[in-house]
Amino acid sequence: MKISISNLISALTIICFGMFSCDSPEDTVNSKIYPERPNIVWIVNEDMSPEHLGAYGGTGGDTPVLDQFAKESLRYTNAFSTAGVCAPSRAAIITGAYQTSIGAMHMRTTGMSASALEYYPPGFKAYSTVLPDGMRGFPEYLRMIGYYTTNNSKEDYQFEAPKTMWDESSKNAHWKNRPDPEQPFFSIFNLTISHESQVWAREDEPLLVDPDSVVVPPVYPDDSISRRTLARFITNVMRMDTQVGELLQELKDAGLYENTIIFYYSDHGDGMPYYKRELYDRGLKIPLMIKAPFLEAGSVTNELVSFVDFGPTVLSLAGIKIPPTMQGQAFLGDQKSAERDYVYAARDRMDSEYDRVRAVSDGRYKYIRNYMINKPNYQNIQYRLNNPLMVHLLELHEEGKLTPDQERWFDETKPKEELYDTQTDPWEFNNLADNPEYQAKLEEMREAHLKWVNYYGDLGSKNEVAMVREWWGGQATPPVTEPAIILYEDGLVALRSPTPSASIGYRKSSSDVWSVYTKPFEINKGDSLYVLAHRIGFEPSIEAVIVE
């Protein structure tokens, strides 16, 4: 929408008390000036439990890069995702809030193909989660104070990210692209080679590990198909390790390695059957290693850490006041909190298949609450049937050849409550919920679960289609963010959005990058200004243009 200056000034309704007195998102940022802000890099691989790395025990493959990185880092032994799949967990990471509290718990809500939607309930439509008032992705706060933020390249946050979240989000996004070599950066690199899909996509590629040498977990039969599939997965992990080395080398070559804060982690547990999507530790526990100048190299901590803590921790490290919309807590930096007592996780719709399961862990004991007890743990998810091991397990199930511990996945129903001692029973086979000796622990964990639900809320109890319609005001399509109000005078521009909680982005004709609006700025004569407002979950506004 093109607006002339003369029409703009005469037509604008001034809704602030003064020309430039409107509140801006900058008001949430700590006003303290930090002369040096740390560079922060996240290296994230997909679908991998910790034990595949030598630093966490190893399952048959060699991971020399990450094993060496562990010697230079603080290694966490009790770090957990908030779901056994990526999109709900990524929603929790980017917002610092539990996906169940903001309606982002179903896997997934965006990017489904028309053929996939045929399996979904009548009336279902893909949607972006409408975030609660005032909530935004944490990288936007970094941009507000001058960070160059990049994401390479997977988002999958359960919503369309506004243009204000990243300087770059693409396969070519990189901290090297920042215009000023002194500008601090926050960069994410997502490595997809360990994703479950690569087990079948790379099935014909050479293996780097002998199938006879891999460790077969007790959830699978020890036979040639299991070993071959596991060797394929472990090979992918080994190739991922090499990719991590390439990213670390780039920092070293630039002279940035020693002073950059580097997180390495996986986006949830293994992508293999009876791991991924489950709320057992094998689906939730992740490797997490952090290298920083202020951390003791080669140290280990048992501190409980959840994905909802990652965003607050980055803000704490960057010197930004953690906003009240975040439910997680910082585990590093000036705003570090006391250690957690519990971490929480959830399972809801997986593709077209509904379930509702919640979990609490204190690091040793795991409590699971099944809200749909008439459903088995196993769900007939079409995507997973591409994995040859999944097909093999189903065949053995039909033939009655699985062990009792392997067969329990296919039980027609499940108990209301489960309790496991993951120290003595790491595969969570022995349910202690009915054991009289563990009733006190059961009651403690049950109470922790209920307090979590009551405090943060749980939108998993709502019908999904009805929840989305409520967000959309009863309409069949999402609301549209109203265009930003542009206040212009003597070469100075102020912006405000009539839509609550919308982020405002702007760019000048001299730039392709959308900046986050925080305060009035100057526009030069002859420059065009483009303005866009976007509340997450709504459609973005139309683009406004003014020409000076």
DSSP output for 30-50: -----S----EEEEEESS--G
C-alpha distance from residue 72 to each of 259, 264, 295 (Å): 12, 12, 9
- Report yes or no: 273 and 389 within 8 Å, Cβ to Cβ: yes
The β-bridge partners of 493 are 488, 521
Name the burial class of residue 310, with classes exposed (0-12), middle (13-18) and buried (19+) by CB atoms within 10 angstroms of its CB: buried
Gap between the Cα atoms of 314 and 42, Å rounded:
10
The token duo for 155 is 């988002």
The token duo for 442 is 């059961």
Q: Which residue among 44, 70, 86, 544 is the active-site one? A: 86
Gap between the Cα atoms of 286 and 301, Å rounded:
14
Q: How many CB atoms lie within 10 A of CB 401?
A: 13
The β-bridge partners of 361 are 343, 366
Residues in the chain: 548
Gap between the Cα atoms of 416 and 357, Å rounded:
10
Gap between the Cα atoms of 136 and 533, Å rounded:
13
- Report yes or no: 80 and 306 within 8 Å, Cβ to Cβ: yes
Q: Does residue 16 have an active-site annotation?
A: no
Of 476, 403, 394, 489, the closest CA to residue 221 belongs to 403
Report CA 481 to chain centroid distance, whole Å. 25
Report CA 67 to chain centroid distance, whole Å. 24
- Report yes or no: 548 and 5 within 8 Å, Cβ to Cβ: yes
Find the farthest-apart pair of alpha carbons in the chain and give their distance in angstroms, rounded.
80
- Name every residue whose Cβ is closer than 8 Å to that of residue 217 and which is 6 or more positions away in sequence: 282, 427
The alpha-carbon radius of gyration of the chain (Å, integer) is 24
For residue 473, which amino acid is it?
G
Name the burial class of residue 513, with classes exposed (0-12), middle (13-18) and buried (19+) by CB atoms within 10 angstroms of its CB: middle
- Report yes or no: 356 and 347 within 8 Å, Cβ to Cβ: yes
Gap between the Cα atoms of 306 and 96, Å rounded:
10
Q: What one-character DSSP code corresponds to residue 408?
A: G
Count of alpha carbons within 13 Å of 326, Cβ hemisphere only? 27
Q: Which residues of 475-484 are buried (b: 16+ CB within 10 A; e: fewer)?
A: eeebeebbbb
Of 261, 264, 239, 340, the closest CA to residue 75 belongs to 264
Point out the residues that are catalytic: 86
